[in-house]
Amino acid sequence: MVNKINENIYEVPIGYRMGMRVPGRLFVSEKLLKDVELGTIDQVANVATLPGIVKYSMAMPDAHLGYGFPIGGVAAFREDGGVISPGGVGFDINCGVRLLRSNLEAKTVQPLISTLIDNLFEAVPSGVGATGRLHISDHELTEAFIEGAKWAVGQGYGVKADLEHCEESGCMSGADPSQVSIRARKRGRPQLGTLGSGNHFLEIQRVEEIFDQTMAQRFGIFEGQITVMIHCGSRGAGHQICTDHLEVLSRAVHKYKIDIPDKQLACAPLGSSEAKNYFGAMVCAANYAWANRHIIAHWTREVFDKFFGDVKLELIYDVAHNVAKIEEHRVNGTLERLYVHRKGATRAFGPYRNEVPEAYRDIGQPVLIPGSMGTPSYVLCGSDKALELTFGSACHGAGRIMSRTQAKKTFTGHDVKAALSVKGIKVKATHPAMLAEEAPQVYKSSDEVVDVVHNLGIAIKVAKLMPLGVSKG
Amino acid sequence: MKSFEYLEHTADIKFRAYGQNIEEMMNNAALALFNAMTDTSVVQINKTWKVKLSAPDLEQLAYYWLSELVFLFETELTIYSKFNVKVHHNQEWILLAQIGGERIDPKKHAFDNEVKAVTLHEFVVNKNDVWCIQVVLDV
């Protein structure tokens, strides 16, 4: 049912299921394709039925079963005749990753890793039910919704230079706080400045290998260097915003007579009040997430300063991997304004796009692909090929391969922790039980996924980072 | 009849909960939701809460019910393990429930997962021999 088009490109033909408007495209190797569940291909096909979809319904190399869109799903919709769907963004709006580079070498940090991770675990609230160290007013929450990371800098968290190194400068325009419910505010307010749980983490890493010296130099990365990666999102604020608007958009599909194959693909025509309201609320959550990662980075810097004196922890880049954005892309030779949905996918723009920070504009944006606790993370550089093939997108991680129920049957949290310790990786988590479901073995090999991205040319490998210590909720 | 069972899902949590009647199915779905996060058998009932919801159809009522529990869990920081649901149907569907639980205590309650939200993906309520609800949770 899936046809090979080229090396690492497979097509789900129109006709795979009723109502497909465009074909599906899976960007996977033959080896990775074997692990792609039938349900994932069904989800790619479902997305292809949505009105106004352009070119293809796409799945990145880490694609796996999700809800609505597959995880690793990318789809773009015409402003005229297209739709916006929370199923293409997810509940954790602007779940994303940021990477900080330090002026420290691994040999300085490694002997202290255990206490360093303990201190970070204390400094950055995490875990189920965690509330932040911040006590913000409702008015301040509104400001965070509108200004994102810019608001955090104004409050003394992080520095202005950081903003240039965030996607959207950490503040996406179009926020409409009037579309955020009291319930979403109630969930989000106490949680600003918290990491969350599950696959979210704060990780200290060592630069293990450089693949492209010139690009690495531009990103300020060198072998043996210590980097810090932060992976988290918009917490309860985003989850509730999505829940609230999913309900509105579920009604909108009847009102606008849109046939959807999956209720989670509820959507509204672009230009309708329902679509505008969802977009305005989604931007609030996206900005909240940038503020959140900014605050967490600030506390991380404080801990590093306490340990090593005046350390330079500079932001390389911060990317969103669950978001819908208005972008210009060339379609059949014409530049069009599209609503690009990335659900578990990272933007990977090449050189000379205005959206890429000035510091990287002539080479392309950093693309951050986190591994799991025991596997490497990668830094890549976006390329023109991504604009041609994937609306400027790449994968966002390794991708799960084993279900949570299966993981719990196979591993215990204590075993996972001990196995990582043998590899020299210190893990601190609220409860070891959570570690079983996030064992390195439940994910695909990040090496394989990243190689497909590199070989397709949608992003170029720059550096490989190995975990030394991980703090998890 | 099983109260509930978890099904295979790569990234998230999928379950089916059953009941001889709608009320029992709603009670069991709530229990499946909290059991996906933590062992509810150790949760004591020292706090009770009342819930009232209405919806145009039963499926939506069930979605509101589970979403409400996620909201209460996170804002009241309470794990619920006791549910007494009553459902009425006139022009619209109405759910009245008394729920009981205990405030999260990190020393006592170990969490396997944190449920972010209830998805509508493959969300189904139907009745064959017994009432059954299928749910995918985002974790």
Residue B112 has what pLDDT?
A: 86
Residue A199 has what pLDDT?
A: 86
Residue A415 has what pLDDT?
A: 87
CB A322 within 8 A of CB A96: yes
CB A318 within 8 A of CB A281: no
**Beta partners for residue B93, in sequence order:** B55, B89
**Beta partners for residue A380, in sequence order:** A367, A461
Out of B37, B77, B138, closest to residue A67 by CB = B138
Q: What's the DSSP call for residue B81?
A: E
Strands A225-232, A96-105: pairing is antiparallel
- Architecture of the domain spanning A3-401+443-472: Alpha-Beta Complex (3.90)
**Beta partners for residue A69, in sequence order:** A67
Two structure tokens written together for B57? 């159809």
| Residue B131: pLDDT band with limits 50, 70, 90 | very high
Q: Which residues contact A156 (CB under 8 A, 6 or more apart)?
A: A298
Name the residue among A123, A37, A47, A30 with its Cα closest to residue A88: A47
What is the amino acid identity at position A100?
A: L
Residues of A within 8 A of B6 (CB-CB) are: 405
Q: Does A129 sit within 8 Å of B138, measured CB to CB? A: no
List C-alpha distances in Å: A193 to A160, A241, A294.
Answer: 18, 18, 9
Q: Which domains does chain B have, with CATH numbers?
A: 4-138 (3.55.10.10)
Average pLDDT over every residue of B113-129: 95
How far is it, in rounded angstroms, from Cα A429 to Cα A435?
8
Q: Which of A64, A396, A414, A454 is catalytic?
A: A396
Active site residue A396: yes
Q: Which secondary structure element, helix H or strand E, spans residue A60, and what is its range?
A: strand A57-67
How far is it, in rounded angstroms, from Cα B47 to Cα A33?
50
Residue B106 has what pLDDT?
A: 84
CA angle A234, A235, A240 (to 5 degrees): 95
How distant is the Cα of B6 from the closest Cα of chain A, in angstroms?
8
Residues of A within 8 A of B118 (CB-CB) are: 243
Name the residue among A209, A225, A228 with its Cα closest to residue A380: A209
Q: Is the pLDDT of residue B89 over 90?
A: yes
pLDDT digits (tens, 9 = 90+) for A356-413: 999 999 999 999 999 887 789 999 999 999 999 999 999 998 877 888 888 888 888 8
How distant is the Cα of A72 from the closest Cα of chain B, in angstroms?
12
Side-chain-side CA neighbours of residue A431 (13 Å): 23
**3-class DSSP state for residue A73?**
strand
Residue B5 has what pLDDT?
A: 97
Residue A1 has what pLDDT?
A: 83
Give domain limits for chain A: 3-401+443-472
For the sheet containing A9-12, what is the strand order?
A: A3-6, A9-12, A24-26, A57-67, A69-78, A334-343, A322-331
Beta strands of A68-112 (E only): which ranges? 69-78, 83-84, 96-105
pLDDT digits (tens, 9 = 90+) for B29-84: 999 999 999 999 999 999 999 999 999 999 999 999 999 999 999 999 999 999 99
Residue A273 has what pLDDT?
A: 98
Q: Does B111 sit within 8 Å of A431, measured CB to CB? A: yes
Mean pLDDT of chain B: 95
What does pTM read for this prediction?
Answer: 0.97
Q: ipTM, 2 decimals?
A: 0.95
Which parts of chain A sit beneath pLDDT 70? none
Two structure tokens written together for A237? 């604020």
Residue A116 has what pLDDT?
A: 97
